[in-house]
């Protein structure tokens, strides 16, 4: 079966750095997406990785290792508004998006 | 604003009711999707439409009936639902079905079935 694993919940402090991990087992790989979803709002696109390595976009970075079936989302200089759920999704060989259950990130002052 | 609008935002219905969810995208996209999001579970893809044609039905019960009259509008018709159908229903769109295409989501309809 296909599976995406990410921690259910994480807590971090304002101004700090947090890394949210995502491991996947899918039938094939055609890219990995990270989305942010605030409570009661639409998921919004953060990043897309298809090649190994680090993609940096402002305070957010996303890393991919295809050989390890592993990705992480790195959030720097955390702000209270970063409190949200972070969803990892992998596109498989059939071009279906397989989603993780999401990681709820709680930022404390 | 993501360019994808869903109405209503909240819906409470009895098991014998018939209701419809509406999704409209203003992004000029050709592909549209319905997802079900239950608490602490991964998003479940329900239906996919590409250029108004249904390309995916993920074994969804017939009490859910999608309709796509044009590339900008998507409906989900509901009838004789069960309490376990209570969830957040999300609509999304993308330029096309290419692997790298980003899906843009609406804020969802929170459905409660009594």
Average pLDDT over residues B14-26: 94
Given pLDDT bands bounded at 50, 70 and 90, which one contains residue A94? confident
At CB < 8 Å, which residues of chain B contact A? 2, 4, 40-43, 45, 90, 97, 99-100, 102-108
> Which residues of chain B lie closer than 8 angstroms to A8, CB-CB?
40
- Substitution target in B36, B42, B59 with the highest count of A β-carbons within 10 Å is B42
**Bigger pLDDT: B85 vs B54:** B85
> Which residues of chain A lie closer than 8 angstroms to B105, CB-CB?
35, 42-44
Query: Quick one: A91 exposed, middle or buried, by C-beta within 10 A (0-12, 13-18, 19+)?
Result: buried
Average pLDDT over residues A29-40: 95
Q: Which long-range contacts (CB under 8 A, 24 or more apart) does A30-33 make?
A: A30/A91, A30/A92, A30/A93, A30/A95, A30/B99, A31/A90, A31/A91, A31/B99, A31/B100, A32/A62, A32/A64, A32/A71, A32/A88, A32/A89, A32/A90, A32/A91, A33/A88, A33/A89, A33/A90, A33/A91, A33/A97, A33/B102
Question: What's the maximum distance between 2 C-alpha atoms anywhere in chain B?
Answer: 41
Lowest mean pLDDT among A4-8, B35-39, B55-59, B79-83: B55-59
Give the H/E segment covering residue B93.
strand B87-94
DSSP state letter for B12: E
Task: Check pLDDT > 90 for residue A51.
Answer: yes
Task: Check pLDDT > 90 for residue B40.
Answer: no
Q: Of the candidates A90, A93, A95, A94, which has an alpha carbon nearest to the alpha carbon of residue A5?
A: A90
Task: Check pLDDT > 80 for residue B1.
Answer: no
> Which residues of chain A lie closer than 8 angstroms to B108, CB-CB?
42
Average pLDDT over residues B70-82: 95
**Bigger pLDDT: A71 vs B53:** A71
Average pLDDT over residues B76-95: 95
Please report the number of interchain residue pairs, chain A to chain B, with beta-carbon separation below 8 angstroms.
45
- For residue A42, give the nearest of B2, B97, B100 by CB distance: B2
Task: Check pLDDT > 90 for residue B25.
Answer: yes
Average pLDDT over residues B52-81: 93
Note the pLDDT of residue B58: 83
- For residue A42, give the nearest of B42, B45, B108 by CB distance: B108
Report the alpha-carbon distance of residue B22 to residue B5 in Å, rounded: 8
Task: Check pLDDT > 90 for residue A9.
Answer: yes
């Amino acid at each position: 079966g296909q599976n995406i694993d990410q921690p259910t919940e994480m807590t971090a402090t304002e101004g700090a750095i947090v890394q949210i991990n995502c491991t996947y087992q899918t039938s094939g790989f055609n890219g990995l997406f990270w989305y942010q979803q605030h409570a009661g709002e639409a998921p919004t696109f953060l990043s897309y990785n298809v090649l190994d390595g680090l993609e940096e976009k402002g305070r957010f970075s996303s890393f991919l290792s295809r050989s390890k079936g592993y990705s992480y989302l790195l959030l720097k200089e955390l702000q209270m508004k970063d409190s949200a759920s972070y969803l990892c999704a992998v596109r498989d060989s059939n071009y279906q998006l397989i989603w993780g259950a999401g990681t709820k990130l709680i930022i404390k002052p | 604003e993501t360019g994808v609008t869903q109405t209503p935002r909240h819906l409470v219905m009895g098991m014998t009711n018939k209701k419809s969810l509406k999704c409209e995208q203003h992004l000029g996209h050709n592909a549209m999707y319905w997802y079900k999001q239950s608490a602490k579970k991964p998003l479940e893809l329900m239906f996919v439409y590409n250029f108004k044609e249904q390309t995916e039905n993920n074994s969804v019960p017939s009490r859910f009936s999608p309709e796509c009259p044009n590339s900008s509008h998507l409906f989900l018709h509901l009838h004789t639902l069960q309490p376990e159908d209570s969830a957040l229903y999300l609509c999304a769109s993308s330029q096309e079905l290419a692997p790298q295409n980003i899906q843009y989501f609406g804020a969802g309809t929170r459905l409660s079935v009594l």
